[in-house]
Each structure stands twice: as C-alpha cells, then as structure tokens.
Homo-oligomer: A and B are copies of this chain.
C-alpha cells in the first residue's frame, strides 16, 4: 500500500536507486579526533560536509543526529541547516533524528520546524517521541501527509533501560492489554491504512527482540521502520530478513559508526561496500 507520491513512495524510490542503507551523521567529538579535527563548530561543518559528499551517488538516505549539532547552539544549527540543504539538493532523503515530542501548539511548532516547506531545517522526515500520547502527534502526521513527509515514532529501542517503559501494559482505551510499543506500532500502521498514505513509521532498534514487545512483523506490511543499530552496534544486515520478516519491505538499515569511523580517506570505499552488503541482503 502506498499513496500517490507519499513518503512511502519516496522511500521506495530511494531504496530502488541505492538500497536500504541509511547513513547516520553523528558528529561526535571522538570521531573528530579520528578525522583530525578539533572540537569546534567549524569541524562540525567540515565533518558533516565531507560525510555528505561521500554519500552522494552512493546512498539514498541520511539521518543527522540533531543532538550533536545542538551542542553548539546557533552555530551548530547553522551547520545542520547546511547539511540538510545540500543533502536534499543532491536528492538524498533526510531523516532528522531529533526525537521531539510535546503537546498542542508546541508540538505543531516542532512539526513546522522540520516538515514545513521552506523552513531553515526542512527535512524529509522527523523522529518523534510518544510519551505525551500518540494523539499529540495527529497534527504532525497531518502535516507530514500533506507534504509527502515522514514521521518516525519511537516504539521499541535496543537500549536495555528502555524495556521497563516500552513493555508497560496499556490499561485503557482500545489498546488495553497491549505492551506500549506494540500499541504504538499498530496505531501508526492503522493511521497509514486509514489515510491511504504511508507517512507514519516507527523506530525499532536492530538488536531488539520483537517478541519481547509483542510485535508481530507480518501484521504491518509496508510500514516504514527506521532501525538504528546495524554495523558497529551489533546487528548484521544479512540477518535483517530473519529479524524483521515482512517489515523488511520498508526497513531503513541505519549504520553510523561502522561508516564514520573509517575516516576521511576510506569513507567512500566503506560506504560503497556497506551499501552493497545491505542491498544484497534486502534484494
């Protein structure tokens, strides 16, 4: 299922050209050392541009990690604006990993910040947090649909501390009895079905056991899944089909350190290799 040129369609187009690999751009200070940079906003700018240049014609999707830009306040956001602008000009889909979440007009302001055409931070998709209730994201989803953008809701993450929260059992409403993560996945999928547009997706860690969260992959065909944790963090793209079943159709295989740690001289070759491995695994 996919609407006419909705976000699902745009994702499929990116997959068709370069496969399912998404490069996480995390300008972490420890990587600056590896790349021969000091820890300054200028390095942030240089590092991000060089990673991005290497991505052009090799991968179709990037995921800048907003926190590492925010460290530098306005100067960091200037660097981020530039990365996003250049990536989108090069026809690379940008998923802003900001994990924003708030209520009412405040959430709307976040949605506008990242998904409205013409804003300085306009991206193709945004990650959001559901702690304030999935209903708080309705207007964000509406905006995304109207602009063929994507919204990835945190569902099941691979960090051990998350299990307590994400397996909590919903006690009221239609999802009573379901683990929180499962309720989120099924509601995001249902909203896509109801609108006949694929705008909503979920974040599921690559090393997560879906069964722990009550998530049955075959129930959600076509749902976009942003999966960090491939490569350095332990998951092998060659296991993606076994791990994600039917959810591999729109699985965004995100690798970060395995690529960024290769450094400025080798990043192009590493990218080509990783993209080929991911493309073959999900062919």
- Residues of chain A having any CB pair with chain B under 8 Å: 26, 28, 65, 67-68, 70-78, 80-81, 99-107, 109-110, 112-113, 119-121, 129-136, 154, 157, 159-173, 175, 179-180, 183
CB distance from A236 to the nearest CB of B (A): 20
Alpha-carbon distance A173/B165, docked complex (angstroms): 10
| A208 CB, min distance to chain B CBs, angstroms | 12
Docked-complex contact B119 and A73, CB < 8 angstroms? yes
User: How many copies make up the complex?
Assistant: 2
5 A–B contacts, CB within 8 A, in A order? A74-B81, A132-B162, A133-B162, A134-B164, A135-B159
In the complex, A253→B134 CA distance in Å? 26
Q: Do the beta carbons of B65 and A165 come within 8 Å of each other?
A: no
B161 touches A109 (CB 8 A): no
Apart from A164-B170, A164-B171, list 9 A-B contacts with CB within 8 A: A67-B102, A67-B106, A67-B109, A74-B74, A101-B131, A104-B159, A129-B131, A131-B131, A132-B165
A71 touches B109 (CB 8 A): yes
> B74 and A130: CB pair below 8 A?
no
A73 and B162 contacting across the interface, CB-CB below 8 Å: no
Q: How far is the CA of A130 from the CA of B165 in the complex (A)?
A: 8
Docked CA distance A100–B71 (Å): 13
Given A101-B129, A136-B161, A159-B132, check contact A74 B120 (CB 8 Å): yes
B78, B130, B135: the one within 8 Å of A131 (CB): B130
Q: Tell me which of B75, B99, B130, B169 contacts A120 (CB under 8 A).
A: B75
Q: Which of A71, A121, A160, A164 has the most CB of B within 10 A?
A: A164
Given contacts A106-B68, A109-B67, contact A164 B173 (CB under 8 A): yes
A171 touches B172 (CB 8 A): no
Q: Identify which of A28, A103, A179 gathers the most chain B CB atoms within 10 Å of its CB.
A: A103
Determine the residue in chain B with the shortest Cβ distance to A30: B105
Given the complex, which residues of B lie within 8 Å of A162, measured CB to CB? Answer: 103, 131-133, 136
Nearest CB on B from A163, distance (A): 7
Residues of B within 8 A of A173 (CB): 164
**Is there contact, CB below 8 Å, between A157 and B132?**
yes
